[in-house]
Amino acid sequence: MKPGSKNGNISDVLIKKNIKPSYQRIKVFEYLLGTDSHPTVEQIYSDLVNEIPTLSKATIYNTLNLFEGAQLARVITIEENETRYDACIEEHGHFKCENCGKIYDFPVNLDNLVSGNGILENFKVNEKNIYFKGICSKCLNNKSNKQEGKNGTGK
Amino acid sequence: MKPGSKNGNISDVLIKKNIKPSYQRIKVFEYLLGTDSHPTVEQIYSDLVNEIPTLSKATIYNTLNLFEGAQLARVITIEENETRYDACIEEHGHFKCENCGKIYDFPVNLDNLVSGNGILENFKVNEKNIYFKGICSKCLNNKSNKQEGKNGTGK
DNA sequence: TATATATTTATAAAGATTATAATTTTGTAA
DNA sequence: TTACAAAATTATAATCTTTATAAATATATA
């Protein structure tokens, strides 16, 4: 995959959504597509500012809100005060490890939850979110060690 | 149910969790138990400050964090910047209407999601959350009317 | 009644997001 | 190419939510 064509593809996606493919927007979208870490605004900014020294955090906010409105990205709300973004729109759940802070994706099908569920049957469901918390297998295995990696609560 | 015994019961629940049943704590817990509106900190505060004129918002935060730690209440994270609280611990989903902002509970059983789900099988799941967004039946019926009630986005 | 401890309160501080206005970039037409 | 208009980006200020701190109040115990 050549860099040129890659950018071309990203541009096309943005254009299809009526979003002008500016340099910053392409970089942000590229960043989201290239990670599965569900980054926060802070993480996106601090990584990209190396490449784009003039980058402003307001641009990250503007861009992400734009992408969200165009359904190119979605917000992952797991902890308060920790808005994360995910480029993937397809339905999946998130698991956050309370020890190491990592967020894992897991496959999920929620269709059967809606049909046959009394109250929801007359509702129009636009968005389904599911997230679990607990301890991931990696941290479970290391539980003899006091604290492996930094925890993710930020508190 | 007499008021005296009601407060007595609430006190007992707090005491069982090693939480001293102060006047403010009883009032907050009573408030949570008496509503299904999944209130924000702001809503809890502004309602209770009528009864308790000296009440401080910091007390609400302290108390809710205390309850959360004792598993007497849980945080509902649906929108960013809108932490809501629910006194009910038992497993259920939340549906937020994007038109009127109301949050509905719906029954859900997520056990079958965990077992048989590859990645999760080796994880320790402590907490399961599920929330949907869309339009509730009430707003769907009123959709001819421009905007019934205030919307809940706060933006 | 003293004294120690815990709770509440008021205020300041920190952090995240949005709003505003100036600057820069981009696109278009002469 | 140049001039102009529109859009995007940037820097900064403002707002909002939550937490931290210290003083004041209330509670419990000896």
Can you tell me the mean pLDDT for A64-84?
91
Name the residue type at position A33: L
Is residue A116 predicted with pLDDT exceeding 80?
no
Yes or no: say if A130 and B95 are a contact pair by the CB < 8 Å rule. Answer: no
Is B20 part of the contact surface with chain A (CB cutoff 8 Å)?
Answer: no
Write down all domains in chain B, each with its CATH number in brackets.
1-87 (1.10.10.10), 90-155 (3.30.1490.190)
Shortest CA distance from A106: residue in chain B = B119
Each residue of B68-85: pLDDT tens digit? 999 999 999 888 788 999
Mutate to test the interface with B, among A61, A130, A153 (most CBs of B within 10 A): A130
Label residue B43 by pLDDT band (50, 70, 90): very high
pLDDT at B2 over 50: no
How crowded is residue A82: how many other Cβ atoms within 10 Å of its Cβ?
Answer: 19
CB–CB of A83 and B79 under 8 A?
no
- Where does the pLDDT of residue A152 fall: very low under 50, low under 70, confident under 90, or very high at 90 and above? very low
Per-residue tokens: A35: 């990670």
Q: pLDDT at position A7, please?
A: 60
Structure tokens at A132: 């679990």
For B78-129, what is each residue's pLDDT tens digit?
887 889 999 977 888 999 998 888 999 998 887 777 666 678 888 999 888 9
Mean pLDDT of A77-93: 85
